[in-house]
Chains A and B, each alone.
Chain A
């Protein structure tokens, strides 16, 4: 077996997997708190890419250095998408909180289609080029094409983001309140936790991570389009279910497993099977381990 090729595929899978993981965290956080699959989440990722594109375009005109533009564009995308996530929850889900579980799900799908068409009308149906803002990284040349600057950036940034999220959930007051709400919303309410604030916070964090994923992928692929959120969102959802929906380490693990699986399938078999594999995994997981790799089986109380 060709070790070099294996390593290349491994890192390629990690890159892709980190993006899935970043988006999957949004699905898992929201599901953990209010048991809703936010199907408009992929569109937030797409909005992140577009926001960064617009900000980078404006800053580029004024001649800022490339690295600086990327950082400002990423921050702008995070703030802007956090606002979108917050509004999305207030408009599409909060009014339906007491409704049967199907209603917010349909509302989510509606929002997804709305956001796609909104960007289609506001921007364009074509693919739009995203400027290459990455600095040359000479030390990467020595490791034999295993990763390029954008792969390196994606791995670094997503690892930091996931680490920060884990620490936040584990050690801060807000994080503890989030965990408490996820465990038992009624009890948390009785203890004086403002559930509405926690739900808003969940959407804000999830959307920021998705926006970050969008910016990273836009600088990796070099182009953006209104439709990129759909398949990426679906794959990330698969990753979240794979890891155990509702579980934060599960979403990270699920993303990486799915990314690696896709990369190796394409590398050793054929790119034809890439999408088929993702959804075959989803179906198999649902059949044999419905709670995912790290999910816990829920005891239905009577």
Chain B
């Protein structure tokens, strides 16, 4: 009996040792995100994007002489399911991960990926803290973090609009308050006066008290942090109560529904949003590939995930290996043509080379203004 065990163990060692030598083993790219549940529409486009990029690479003969395989894990964008999904990806021995999709699960999964020495490239997690210096050295993302938008909007207000008195309203959420806080920080450094900084209750029966307070504070501009429904309610009530001050918001405001809700009240409203790259050849190619494969327009985060997969595969190719330590450095230096522009990553892991622009509502449409920044 004991002899049998030893023999088994010896065999196991042999198999493990032999594994890396087999060149035919596929390279595994893990994809973690919401593939079912109520946030599936945020996660499925990312999985589609990785599949398309991988299929294309395989059609050209694979990578480093090996084929590439996609390993999908569903976390439904729930932090409590994310650790399970991450564990499964790690035990499946994936070589790198595209994902997670949402900020909460990313926060939960990252420590596990770090420990397993796996690179994770998230297409859509925007919470600034994820790329704090040195905390997650193997984390990258192909999306602008929430602070980047505030840098752009405050720069625009200081240099183009030359405002002096600013009012800030937010919905008290991470995203909304974060945007308002960061704007305030930069604007006050730039010498503007904060005349109002306040939260609104999203479900309130009406906003008249806040609007009257705004009117009294006489700001040159109103910075709004939050999403479209509150922004449109607030704007409608402002315009009805004869307050004509312009409003500026983050990408949560640049939404077709916002225009539909507010009608002509929205004229002149500013919002920041990724630069329009739909004229780039890579963008057109990615879009056509999706239409060909799935018969529909790509959904949320598709181009970001497409770029993430491209950067990852390009880094492996240049490094000539799937070894984390090697591709980590290449990711930072390598510039890759993606649907979002020529991308690389900065020292923190945030995408460099992506553009953000200011948009303004003109004649019922968001029009891209000639004011943008390229992230570094």
Residues of A within 8 A of B9 (CB): none
Question: Which one of A69-77, A114-122, A145-153 is at the B interface?
Answer: A145-153
Question: B206 at the A/B interface (Cβ < 8 Å)?
Answer: yes
How far, in angstroms, from A220 to B211 measured CA to CA in the complex? Answer: 14
Residues of B within 8 A of A230 (CB): 203
Query: Contact: B212 with A275, CB < 8 Å?
Result: no
Closest CB-CB distance, B29 to chain A, in whole Å? Answer: 34
A145-B241, A270-B199, A271-B200 given as contacts; is B206 within 8 A of A5 (CB)? no
Question: B278 at the A/B interface (Cβ < 8 Å)?
Answer: no
Question: A129 at the A/B interface (Cβ < 8 Å)?
Answer: yes
From the candidates B212, B236, B241, B242, name the one contacting A223 in the complex (CB within 8 A). Answer: B236
Residues of A within 8 A of B213 (CB): 266-267
A2-B216, A272-B199 given as contacts; is B208 within 8 A of A126 (CB)? no
Closest CB-CB distance, B97 to chain A, in whole Å? Answer: 31
Q: Which residue of chain A is the closest to B204 with respect to CB atoms? A: A274
How far, in angstroms, from A178 to B203 measured CA to CA in the complex? Answer: 35
Residues of B within 8 A of A228 (CB): 203
A12-B208, A228-B203 given as contacts; is B216 within 8 A of A221 (CB)? no
How far, in angstroms, from A5 to B260 measured CA to CA in the complex? Answer: 32
Question: A68 at the A/B interface (Cβ < 8 Å)?
Answer: no
Closest CB-CB distance, A257 to chain B, in whole Å? Answer: 15
From the candidates B198, B233, B257, name the one contacting A270 in the complex (CB within 8 A). Answer: B198
Question: B205 at the A/B interface (Cβ < 8 Å)?
Answer: yes
Query: Contact: B205 with A16, CB < 8 Å?
Result: yes
Question: B209 at the A/B interface (Cβ < 8 Å)?
Answer: yes
How far, in angstroms, from A262 to B203 measured CA to CA in the complex? Answer: 14
How far, in angstroms, from A271 to B213 measured CA to CA in the complex? Answer: 10
Residues of B within 8 A of A16 (CB): 205-206, 208
Question: B261 at the A/B interface (Cβ < 8 Å)?
Answer: yes
Question: B162 at the A/B interface (Cβ < 8 Å)?
Answer: no
Residues of B within 8 A of A5 (CB): 212, 216
Q: Which residue of chain B is the closest to A134 with respect to CB atoms? A: B240
How far, in angstroms, from A235 to B201 measured CA to CA in the complex? Answer: 13
Residues of A within 8 A of B233 (CB): 127, 221-223
Question: A290 at the A/B interface (Cβ < 8 Å)?
Answer: no
Query: Contact: B172 with A221, CB < 8 Å?
Result: no
A5-B212, A270-B199, A272-B198 given as contacts; is B241 within 8 A of A235 (CB)? no
Query: Contact: B236 with A9, CB < 8 Å?
Result: no
Interface residues of A in 267-302 (CB under 8 A from B): 267, 270-272, 274-275
A129-B260, A145-B241, A222-B236 given as contacts; is B210 within 8 A of A266 (CB)? yes
How far, in angstroms, from A15 to B198 measured CA to CA in the complex? Answer: 22
Closest CB-CB distance, B271 to chain A, in whole Å? Answer: 18
Interface residues of A in 205-256 (CB under 8 A from B): 217, 220-223, 225, 227-228, 230-232, 235
Residues of B within 8 A of A150 (CB): 240
Per-residue CB contact flags for chain B residues 198-228 toward chain A (1 = under 8 Å, else 0) read 1111011110111011011000000000000
Question: A89 at the A/B interface (Cβ < 8 Å)?
Answer: no
Q: Which residue of chain B is the closest to A227 with respect to CB atoms? A: B203
Closest CB-CB distance, A130 to chain B, in whole Å? Answer: 10
Residues of A within 8 A of B260 (CB): 129
Q: Which residue of chain B is the closest to A274 with respect to CB atoms? A: B201
From the candidates B201, B205, B209, B261, name the one contacting A19 in the complex (CB within 8 A). Answer: B205
From the candidates A2, A220, A272, A275, name the one contacting B206 in the complex (CB within 8 A). Answer: A220
Interface residues of A in 98-137 (CB under 8 A from B): 126-127, 129
Query: Contact: A272 with B209, CB < 8 Å?
Result: no
Q: Which residue of chain B is the closest to A129 with respect to CB atoms? A: B261
Closest CB-CB distance, B211 to chain A, in whole Å? Answer: 8
Residues of B within 8 A of A220 (CB): 206
Question: A13 at the A/B interface (Cβ < 8 Å)?
Answer: yes
Per-residue CB contact flags for chain B residues 85-105 toward chain A (1 = under 8 Å, else 0) read 000000000000000000000
Question: A20 at the A/B interface (Cβ < 8 Å)?
Answer: yes
A12-B212, A221-B236 given as contacts; is B198 within 8 A of A271 (CB)? yes
Question: B237 at the A/B interface (Cβ < 8 Å)?
Answer: yes
Query: Contact: A126 with B203, CB < 8 Å?
Result: no
Query: Contact: A267 with B209, CB < 8 Å?
Result: yes
Question: B229 at the A/B interface (Cβ < 8 Å)?
Answer: yes
Residues of B within 8 A of A149 (CB): 240
Closest CB-CB distance, A202 to chain B, in whole Å? Answer: 24
How far, in angstroms, from A126 to B258 measured CA to CA in the complex? Answer: 11
Residues of B within 8 A of A148 (CB): 240-242
Residues of A within 8 A of B241 (CB): 145, 148
Residues of A within 8 A of B216 (CB): 2, 5
Question: B191 at the A/B interface (Cβ < 8 Å)?
Answer: no
Question: A263 at the A/B interface (Cβ < 8 Å)?
Answer: yes
Query: Contact: B209 with A232, CB < 8 Å?
Result: no
How far, in angstroms, from A150 to B237 measured CA to CA in the complex? Answer: 10
Closest CB-CB distance, B34 to chain A, in whole Å? Answer: 17
Residues of B within 8 A of A225 (CB): 229
Can you identify 7 A-B contacts, CB atoms within 8 angstroms? A5-B216, A12-B209, A145-B242, A222-B236, A225-B229, A228-B203, A267-B212
**Additional A-B contact list (16), CB under 8 Å, known A16-B206, A263-B209, A266-B210:** A9-B212, A12-B206, A127-B232, A127-B261, A129-B261, A145-B241, A148-B242, A217-B205, A221-B205, A222-B236, A223-B233, A228-B203, A231-B205, A267-B212, A270-B198, A272-B198
* Closest 5 pairs (CB-CB, A-B): A266-B209, A12-B208, A222-B236, A231-B203, A263-B209
